[in-house]
Amino acid sequence: MKPISFAFNQISDNIFTGGLEILSLRVIYKIMEVLIADEYGFCFGVERAVEMVEEALAEGDTVRTLGPLIHNDQEMGRLATHGVSTINAPVQIQRGETAVIRAHGVTPQVEAELREKASKVVDATCPFVTKVQKLASRAAAQDRHVVVVGNPDHPEMIGVFGYAPKHSFIVRDVAEVAALPRLKNPLVVSQTTIKLQNFYDVAEAVKAKADGETQVVNTICSATRDRQDAARSLAGEVDAFYIIGGRHSSNSRKLLAVCQEQCEKSFLIETEDEINVEDLRGARKVGLTAGASTPNWLIEKIGKRLEEIGIGLDNEMAVT
């Protein structure tokens, strides 16, 4: 982990004259230090999807995404100011418009509908998700069962299921494996954003249900694992922890759960307005991380707000 970089920039900007001013600002950071996890924010797939949309806009396209491009309302709001709009079904796209398949992917049937109706289709499906789709499709073609560990209501899982609808089962955890029938040479894969231990626990439970060999392929995104490991490493060292991400973002909620294992005062927030100053009284070290759909501009904004709060609390202590 590392002290948040823009905090130090702020310190240098506020040094006017005299050693006393410099000393007081240094004391601020001894009272409340903001530490950012080693891995945080946009993953490769999300950054790629945003760049693909921005490229389409630069070409003058009328861009419409099928569902939110990524699970972050603030970034979607920024894109909306540049003309990006969201549709809920392929029937809403028109000729002359560019349809964007979001990072979570879609079923083959939905993609075919988009290509039939739109003038252009930009496939921004995350490559990690594409890998799961291909594995499921291949196993189904071999007449094998596919067990996908994840949330059946998540758009990524809906899309993956569409690649092997007659062979797939989506389970959240070990408890749901018990309800499955006997499985023929099953393939076990996962939603790209789930917790690693849950995946391995389910995989072991599936083996007991299998007739034939069980193939286990860990398809959890490396960025998800890296962010969770970095957050876990930092959580034991801080008094409060803020995870920046959408409440409907699976990977952000998983980050919150990881942080809560070691830091009781862990909070999932979407904007700086959600920070409660009372939660930071007495805190000497504050951790900060962000989900894979959280843009850097938002992380910087919240980091600066935490700095302001730290300075304010220090001033209160100085007065008392």
Contacts (Cβ under 8 Å, ≥6 apart) of 153? none
Tally helices (H) and strands (E) across the chain.
12, 15
Strand boundaries in 49-178, DSSP class E: 63-66, 85-87, 98-101, 120-123, 146-149, 168-171
Question: Nearest-CA neighbor of 275 among 263, 259, 286, 264?
Answer: 286
- State the angle between helix axes of 222-235 and 250-260 in degrees (0 to 180), rounded to the nearest 10: 30
* Residue 59 to residue 302: CA distance in whole angstroms: 33
Question: Nearest-CA neighbor of 122 among 43, 223, 54, 72?
Answer: 54
Instruction: Write the burial class of residue 41 (CB in 10 Å: 0-12 exposed, 13-18 middle, 19+ buried).
Output: buried
CB 144 within 8 A of CB 167: yes
Q: What angle do CA 201, 103, 101 make, to 5 degrees?
A: 135
DSSP-derived secondary structure letter, 278: G
* Residue 47 designated active-site: no
Given the residues 33, 113, 156, 307, the one annotated as active site: 156
Beta bridge pairs of residue 2 = 36
* Residue 66 to residue 43: CA distance in whole angstroms: 20
Annotated catalytic sites, by residue? 156
